[in-house]
Amino acid sequence: MSTQAVEIQVMGRILRVNCPTGQEDALREAAKDFDQRLKDLSERTNISNIEQLLMFTGLNICNELHSERKEQQGTDSNLSNRISELAESLDKALQNQPKR
């Protein structure tokens, strides 16, 4: 897989990051989101130490990701159960059909 160097800006710092070809826009959007989260946290908490901001923002993102994964697992489980119930209903309905 080929990569391409992409410039992003986080906390006023320009970084060159290697990115898989075709994913440049997604990386730029992710960098904008991350930068905005850092700014928002800095404004809400008055934390100016960049290392602390990075750590807390990273933890917040990981917590959101963990919550989303748990929710998705619940959704997947519910969907799987529903599909099983529908398959059982179809089997029963087909078994009760008169043979031709």
Q: Give pLDDT tens digits for 20-62.
A: 999 999 999 999 999 999 999 999 999 989 999 999 999 999 9
The secondary structure of 24-66, three-state, reads: HHHHHHHHHHHHHHHHHHHHHHCCCCHHHHHHHHHHHHHHHHH
The mean pLDDT value of the chain amounts to 93
Is residue 34 a part of any domain in this protein?
yes
Is residue 40 a part of any domain in this protein?
yes
Enter the pTM of the model: 0.72
What's residue 65's pLDDT? 96
pLDDT above 80: residue 99? no
Q: How many folded domains does the chain comprise?
A: 1
What's residue 2's pLDDT? 92
Rounded average pLDDT over 76-84: 90
Range of the domain at 38: 3-95
